[in-house]
Amino acid sequence: MELLGRQEVWNITYDHALGETASWFYTRIRDEAAIYGRRCAKTGRVLVPPRSFSDETLLPTTDWVKVGPAGRIEAFTMVYEKFNNLPEPPYAFGFVLLDGADTAIGGYFRGVDLTDPAVAAETLAIGTRVEAKFAAERTGAMLDFWFEVAG
């Protein structure tokens, strides 16, 4: 028999509040081109991206700590497949432990030739030193900065 279908598209708008901690973090990125983490007074861990409380102690974090802009790659991948509503491939991104931080923050890796995946994987190997770079025009967002291999 003839089987019928229906195409449906969900397009839903949200206006998310970021809260005090992320708001402070992003305004520093926008105004100072600097990345900050939050320290847990009890464990001493510096959480980046910053959170208002520590998941280990459930105590509020107590102070802001400037981290980076240099750091080391902790994880990476190069994406070669196109996914709807996600960036045009290829692109590389991953997680970086910024100097002074205890946890890693995500970001794009730019300035890497992704033509040959094996070569790119060597360039981005875990442990590679990188530096955060900031856009000249910043809006206070994650995409205001990215990482480049330190040279």
Partner 1 sequence: MSLDRVGIIGIGQSEFRSRRDDASYPDLVREGVSRAMADAGLELDAVQAVVYSLSPDAMLGIGNAERLGVDAVGGRNKPFLRINTGGATGISSVAAAYYHVASGMFDVVMTAGADKIGECGDSQTVLNKIWDPSYERPLPLGTINMLAMSGVRYMQQYGMTEEDMALVTVKNRQHASLNPKAHLRKVVTVDEVMESRYISWPIKLLDCCPQSSGGAAIILASETFIRDNRLDAVWITGLSHTAETYWMGDRMGVNPTAEHSGAHALGRSFEKTYRQAGITDPAKQVHVAELYAPFSNTEFHAIDAARLVSKHGESIGRLRDGEFSIGGRIPVNPSGGTLCTNAIAVTAMARVAETALQVWGRAGAHQVKGAKLGIASGNGGDHQIFGTMVIEA
The answer to whether 41 contacts partner 1 (rule: CB under 8 A) is no
CA angle 142, 148, 149 (to 5 degrees): 145
The answer to whether 135 contacts partner 1 (rule: CB under 8 A) is no
Helix (H, G, I), strand (E, B) or coil at 110: coil
Out of 97, 112, 130, 132, point to the residue binding partner 1 (CB under 8 A).
97
Task: Give the nearest distance from C-beta 145 to partner 1 in angstroms.
Answer: 11
**Shortest CA distance to 63 belongs to which of 54, 71, 72, 55?**
54
The pair of three-digit structure tokens given for residue 55, joined into one six-digit string = 């998941």
Which positions touch partner 1 (CB under 8 A)?
A: 3, 5, 8, 10, 14, 16, 18-19, 22, 45, 47-49, 51, 55-56, 74-81, 83-87, 91, 93-95, 97, 101-108, 117, 120-121, 125-126, 141-143
